[in-house]
Structure formats: structure tokens, C-alpha cells
Amino acid sequence: MKLLIAPSVLVLVFCVAGLPLPAEESLKHVDLITVLKLAGANHEDIALAEARRREELAKSVQAWQRFWPSLSLGAGYRGHEGQVQDIAGAVFNASKQQYTVGTSVLVDWAPGTLWYGALAAKQRARAAQRLTEKAKRDVLTQAACLYYDLLAQEATVAIAQEDLRNLENYESQVNAAQQSGARLRADVLRVRSQLSRWRVELRQLQEQRSLAAAALTEALRLPSETGLAAAKADLLPLELIPLDTSVPSLVREAQQRRPEVEAAGALQEEARARLDEARKGPWMPGLQAGYGMGGLGGGIGRQWGNFSGSQDFFLGLGWRLGPGGLGDRQRILVEEARRDVADLQSQSLRSAIGREVVDAIFRARSARDQLQLQREAGTAAREWMDLAREGQNSGVSLVLEYLMAQDELSRARRGEVHSVAAFNKAQQQLKRALGR
């Protein structure tokens, strides 16, 4: 069902726009787009998620870089004075020295550990990226809802101020009529009693508006002394998601689009890569290889000559047995348990998302229906108020009936404002629940 903007809401918007807030020159007016930009720029939750994403991305790159051989370049000196033993076992006195200059390339690979470890690091980086997107959506949704709270409170204050002025004018009329004998003293007291009650309510509403502005300021991470005021043109129902769409289709969409689901899937892939590392990695032999080239010189005593080229190279394969290698059954059991945990967490997340979507769609539909009912109540209250004014002009209507009609109209107008805000908040929350 498409929501139509009621004429009463438009009248309310223009009426509110004409009523300045106290100390309006000191307020910073923001609209919804500005709020969303500020929320995405300053919030530390987004910055923290982004930092974790960069950390996991760097770890992933680092994991793949472990396949690169290491290169060393240097020079060395070694000297000896005194007894030494040769290969055959003879011991004799010797004085010698040597110096080397050169470079070497070394390879120390455990392919199973390196390959599967790099795959697991890649999946962790992918999960961190998706969780960063989730953090952004959560912050933006929170900021939008707080903005609508402030918008509703400002409009409610403006309505209360307008109603209070109307009642003050009516008090003057009743007081003049009482002095001329056309009204009773009790009528004046009834009006004054309602005036006092509305003044108290107005002060309470102003307090709530200030608290709503402070909450939005804190959510946007602005200085606490910053005064915020909402753009009153945003006080219109905003339908972001068609509410007549079937619930099962919305649940399926959310389970496919939500960044948390993709992050959980990446963590499942990481767990499987770790399990493959435990099962298959030990069967892949470790490789050690090296090649060095340079020059070697020296000799007996203090000889520095005899410098010439020198090369060394080696190659070896090996398997590890025991803990961390072949035959480590407990490591496999640990990784199997971690895989099962990741799978169960993913299933639990999908169920929670389904429930969240169902709750969000029902709240949005309820908010839509309540808005329609508030509009109907507002229409009836306005008609009642018109009849009460006609009765006052003809001298037929009682003061009490006029006050009741005015009170009902004020409540209807405030209720309509809060229903619009509640509907827009429900739409924002449904949008987040769907991952849009």
C-alpha cells in the first residue's frame, strides 16, 4: 500500500517551519543527508572496523609473501689462534684467518602450512571487509533514527507552542466575557487550569527535544556544545521498502545480502582451510634450499691474500612427524571442532537475521497502520474543533467542550508527527535488516 502525504501533514510542516525554536540562531540545522554523511565520517566504530580490515588485509598479503625466498648480502671475518683439530682427529697448533664477501638466497618452505595459511588469511581479510560494511550500516541506521527522534520532538514543541498561544487568546476572550457577565468564573478557571497544564507539558517537551538533540550530537561525534536542529521538510512519510512484499522473499533476500552472512561464510572457508592444513599439509614435504656466491680470502697467520670466488648451494626435502606434522590426530580434531563451530554460528546467524527481518517488517506495517489511524483521528479532531469554534461564536458551546476539543486536536497532531517519525524509523531499520 502506497502512503500518501495527507494535506494535514503538509499544513503541519509549513506551520512548524514558521515557528522558530528558542535561540535558533545558535542552532546548526541539518537534514538527513548531512546527518548520514557526518555519521559515516566521525564515528569510531567505523574507524575501528576499518582498522581491523586493514590489519587483516596486511596479514593476508604477508601470508602470501612468505613464499618469497630471502636474500642476504654481507661480509664476514673469522680468525683463530691456538689448538685446532682436523678431520682425521689430529690436534695441532694453528694461526689462521679468513674473510668473506657475498650474497645468498635461502628458501625454507613448508608448502602445506604456507598455502593453507595464506588461504585462511585471505578469508579473514574478506570477513573483516564485510564486517566493516556492517559497522557502517549500523551507525548510519542509528543516526537516521536519532534524527527522526529529534525531528519529531521539534515538531511536537512547535505544535505545543502554537496551541498554547491559541489557548492564551481564548483565555482573554473568556475572561472578557466573564467580566461582562456572559461567562461564569468557573469557565475562566477551567481555561487557566488547562493553560497551566499545557505550560508544564511544553517545558517537558522542550526538555525532550534538548535530550534528542544531545543524543544525535553524541552519535555524530560532534562537540557536545553543538546545537542541532532538524530540517522540518523531512517530516514526511518515506517509504523505502514496499511493505506488501512477501515475508519469505524478504528473509531470503536478507540472508543473501547481509554483510554478516558473507563474513560468516568467509570464516567458514577459513575454518575449512585450517582443517585442510591439518589433514593435507603434513603430507607435503618441507623444502630447504640455498645458494650463496661471493669471495673467500685469508690464510695462515696474517695472510690477507688468496682471495677468489666461492659458491655454496644445498637442497633438502623432509617431513615432520609428531605434533604439528604427520600423525598429529589431535590437531585434526581441534580443526574439525572449529569448522563445526563456524558452521553452527553461520546457521544461527541466518536464523537471527530471519527473525530480525520478520520483526522489522511487522513493525513497519504496524507503523504504517498506526499512521493511517492517527490521520483518521486527526480528521475527526479537526472537525470536532471546527464545531466547537462555531458553537463558541454562536454562544451555544460550553467552555469545557471547547477545551476538550482543543486538547484532542493537540494530541492528534502530536500523535501524527510521532507516527510519521516512527514509520520512517521502521523503514530505515527494515532497510538495514535487508542489507540494502
Residues 6+ apart with CB under 8 A from 233: 13, 17, 31
The whole-chain average pLDDT of the chain stands at: 82
Tell which wins on pLDDT, 373 or 110: 373
Mean pLDDT of 85-98: 82
Query: Could you tell me the CATH superfamily of domain 7-434?
Result: Outer membrane efflux proteins (OEP) (1.20.1600.10)
Mean pLDDT of 49-66: 80
CA distance 277 to 34: 49
pLDDT at 13: 34
Q: Name the least confident of 155-164, 325-334, 371-380.
A: 325-334
Res. 230: pLDDT tops 50: yes
Q: Name the least confident of 109-123, 264-278, 296-310, 378-392.
A: 296-310
Query: Where in the chain are the domains?
Result: 7-434
pLDDT bin (cut points 50, 70, 90) of residue 211 is very high
Q: Name the least confident of 16-20, 174-178, 408-412, 423-427.
A: 16-20
| Closest to 127 measured CA to CA, from 271, 280, 303, 237 | 271
Neighbours of 80 (CB within 10 A): 11
Mean pLDDT of 245-270: 89
pLDDT bin (cut points 50, 70, 90) of residue 341 is very high
Mean pLDDT of 313-318: 81
Instruction: State phi, psi for 70 to the nearest 5 degrees.
Output: -95, 145
| Closest to 26 measured CA to CA, from 209, 267, 189, 226 | 226
pLDDT at 312: 81
pLDDT at 403: 86
Res. 14: pLDDT tops 60: no
Instruction: State phi, psi for 365 to the nearest 5 degrees.
Output: -65, -40
| Residue 156, amino acid | T
Most confident stretch, 87-91, 238-242, 425-429? 425-429
pLDDT at 316: 82
CA distance 53 to 133: 10
Mean pLDDT of 52-68: 80
The 3-class SS string of the chain reads: CCCCCCHHHHHHHHHHHCCCCCCHHHCEEECHHHHHHHHHHHCHHHHHHHHHHHHHHHHHHHHHHCCCCEEEEEEEEEEEEEEEECCCCCEEEEEEEEEEEEEEEEEEECHHHHHHHHHHHHHHHHHHHHHHHHHHHHHHHHHHHHHHHHHHHHHHHHHHHHHHHHHHHHHHHHHHHHHCCCCCHHHHHHHHHHHHHHHHHHHHHHHHHHHHHHHHHHHCCCCCCCCEEECHHHCCCCCCCCCCCCHHHHHHHHHHHCHHHHHHHHHHHHHHHHHHHHHHHHHCCEEEEEEEEEEEEEEECCCCCCCEEEEEEEEEEECCECCCCECCHHHHHHHHHHHHHHHHHHHHHHHHHHHHHHHHHHHHHHHHHHHHHHHHHHHHHHHHHHHHHHHHHHCCCCHHHHHHHHHHHHHHHHHHHHHHHHHHHHHHHHHHHHCC
